[in-house]
Structure 1
Amino acid sequence: MRWLAPVAAGAAVLIAGHVAYSFAYYISNLEFGSKEFADGFEGGDLSAWQAGETEFCCDHSATVISNGAREGKRALKVSLAPEDPRVAGSKRAEVRLKAVGLGEERWYAFSLFVPEGWHPIPEAATVAQWHAVDDKLLGEAGRAPPLRLVIKDDQLSIASHWDSRRISGFPFLRAAPEGGAILWSAPLKRGVWTDWVFRIHWSYGDDGVVEIWKDGASIARQGGPNAYNDWLGPFFKLGIYVPHWNKPGAISPIERHEIIIDRVRQSTQPLLPDNHDMSANVRSVDD
């Protein structure tokens, strides 16, 4: 039975390593300091995102441009090519903030420009997402984002997922989320700025709320669960994420995707413009 001692020692090391990694991952996602964030890239760099993280592989991934901004003199151009190196385990070029708490209400706003040259492909490209913080100590990983804005073919859509189960996903054993819905969908418009505002009360219970405005008009409302049953709520990300390009042997008919981002805000206070429309064109999804 001499083999028991080294096996037990090895198991203890693995468990300790898993606990340490899980704890570090949790701490790295905590929101410290102010809960208010705003960046119009007028400083010419990404220094404001020290409050969160930048996930870029290359110099071409993120460029602060000095013409064509939504407001002011500058905006951020984000670029992703199929052959770009992986970042954070996949093909992405994104900026992100820290996670909020479950049960909290936050407002999010940003302006998005999809160039005329955006080439439609059948694989989804996520341009904004609210990503769950997996409870890695419990083995969770790889779940669909609770909320995301996606371009697929020539369609722009917003999808929601939620799950009240305490453990809702394991690597290689990924069960479908408990619930999901398409909150809104419309043909993609290229070559114009669109202004987005989201009000979200994060919850995996019946008290959750998602409200969405596009260009000042209310386009969707979801009442009920909108998150996973985690220790932390989701974190906000903007940019381009194409998971299909991360698959072995994946090919693409395009050289790269590009978008432009401006006027990014996250707040505990309302972010609606003065001319907003509270009810026009609303699609209600109450579950």
Structure 2
Amino acid sequence: MHHIDDLRSAPHPILGKIWFVGAGPGDPELITVKGRKLLEQAGAVLFAGSLVDQAATFYAPADCIIRDSKDMTLEEMTDWLVEQAQHHETVVRLQTGDPGLYGALIEMTRPLTAEGIRWAVVPGVSSAMASMAAAGESMTLPEVTQSVILTRVEGRTPMPPGEDLASLAAHHTTLCIFLSITLLHKVETGLRAAGWPENAPMLVVHKASWPGQERIVRGTLADIKQRCREAGIVSQAMIVASPTLGASDWPDLVRSKLYDPTFTHRFRKAIA
């Protein structure tokens, strides 16, 4: 296997292009049309087997070289992609959700750019959106919150200054908390420190959109950890804390101005 430092003397010129494709949250039908087309013409696919449903690789041709990356280091993955690009016009790195969110995109593309290797990114549906869709919830509501924070709590990866959960939660907006289900106690501590009440609604979605595997747990700040423990949810889950949760059962809602008959915009005149 060639290392990037040796590419200038490699026996095969770099002819192919490496595509970083977001596979979406789990359901293979939630990959974008562009992502699926790239898989259908790919000569080689490197997929995140520990996170991406293997069904997503079924779109690849029968003679496509398919490799699971779950046992590879970052350097090994980059070397594999580069080697395949010497033999195939289209090489795909297929990863969960969106490549730009909690992935190693920049770490992988920097050496490619340095060597003049062509690459591009195809965005994917995030598990944050898929979780809210699964639960039939909205991230924003007029005069409730118009902001969404995508974050995580500190584990082995430290949080930058000012990004601890208590600081972010102080905005009392929608929080989609990734990679933190085993640190749910830290989530609770952060929310309480920011003044969230014990009856604040909470949502946890395990494997959002995965056919036959998706599970939804609803609760409050006071009991969500116990509910998740009872459900046996210990991995691959999105945690959502939001003042919008449960709005479908509220007696009253502020109307969206866009669809209010008394509101004028460039496509419709207000009805008096």
TM over 0.5: no
From the two aligned structures, give the one with the greater helix fraction: 2
Q: If the TM-score is normalised by the length of the shorter chain, which range does it land in?
A: under 0.3
TM-score, normalization: structure 1?
0.23
Between Structure 1 and Structure 2, whose CA radius of gyration is higher?
Answer: 2
Q: Could you say which structure has the greater relative contact order, defined with CA pairs below 8 angstroms and 6 or more residues apart?
A: 1
TM-score where L is the length of structure 2 = 0.24
